[in-house]
Amino acid sequence: MKKYKIIDVSERQFEDLVRQAPDLIEDGLKYLDHQKSTDRGPLDVLMADSGGALIVCELKIVEDDGMLFQGIDYYDYVKKNVDAFSRLYKKHKIDPIQAVRLFLIAPSFSISLLNRLKWIDIPISLFTFNCIQFENDKEIIPVYSEITIPSAPVVLQPNTLEDKLNYVTDSSMRRLLEELLKEIKSWDENNISIDPVKYDLSLKISGSVFSYIGPRRKHFVVYTYDRDDEWVAFPIYQKSDLVKVKVLLKNNILEE
């Protein structure tokens, strides 16, 4: 059996190794670009998987908790511009419908980083690596190992309209929220629906969302489009706060 040793590499060397043989990380990976400019700085490596999904790769040659935040920044940029990226790399048959993925690749990951990842709901994969060199051979070979991200404890979310209303502990605010929902429903009984979702209430007209309402302990928040067609949050602390919001909600219903 050939003898080998584990060697240290620079960031530039490691980036080159990733670019040269991406399929060593995951079967079917294709290299697209590196040091791609974004509004958060240069992205280390951009790849695509065998299903045509874009993959943002953040690389480190030492353990570094900061790579998580850097990676999410680059992921956010690619996610927001996925259609442009799919056109730019069209010869690689990028599918903009596929979820963008984030790879973090480093020699090791701290317990703190692993614990944070339990609560982040984007497709992230972790890989540790070692670079090896066989005796009497100059070639450097990266060896990767995928790390399992711990699962978050299951948290049961209130899933009925009554549960959402009960979240508001201030009785006057709860009554105000109930009255608002009743009034909104009366605007078009047959086509307006009010449904509980993960943390909020989803308000739809003929199946299209025109607002979300987020219950809080002593107030609630109405999310809807303003006059400039921007999605805006309106905190409601008293009845007078609803005057402007109701006008916007009605306008948004009429536009659907």
Question: How is 14-59 classified by DSSP, letter by letter?
Answer: HHHHHHH-GGGTSTT-EEEEEEEEEBTEEEEEEEE-TTS-EEEEEE
153 located within any domain: no
The confidence band for 254, taking pLDDT boundaries of 50, 70 and 90, is confident
The pLDDT value recorded for residue 151 is 86
| Closest listed residue to residue 253, CA positions, set 199, 183, 159 | 183
Q: Does residue 186 register a pLDDT over 70?
A: yes
pLDDT in tens, 42-71: 999 999 999 999 999 999 999 999 999 999
Q: Which domain holds residue 234?
A: 161-255
Domain boundary among 147, 171, 203: 147
Q: Does residue 169 register a pLDDT over 80?
A: yes
The confidence band for 136, taking pLDDT boundaries of 50, 70 and 90, is confident
Lowest mean pLDDT among 76-85, 94-103, 133-142, 172-181: 133-142
**Are 87 and 179 contained in the same domain?**
no
Q: Does residue 158 register a pLDDT over 60?
A: no
Count the domains in the chain: 2
| Closest listed residue to residue 22, CA positions, set 71, 57, 60 | 57
Domain boundary among 90, 123, 147: 147
**Are 250 and 132 contained in the same domain?**
no
**Are 76 and 28 contained in the same domain?**
yes
Domain boundary among 147, 176, 195: 147
Percentage above 70 pLDDT, the chain: 97
CATH of the domain at 221: 3.90.1150
pLDDT in tens, 199-214: 899 999 999 999 999 9
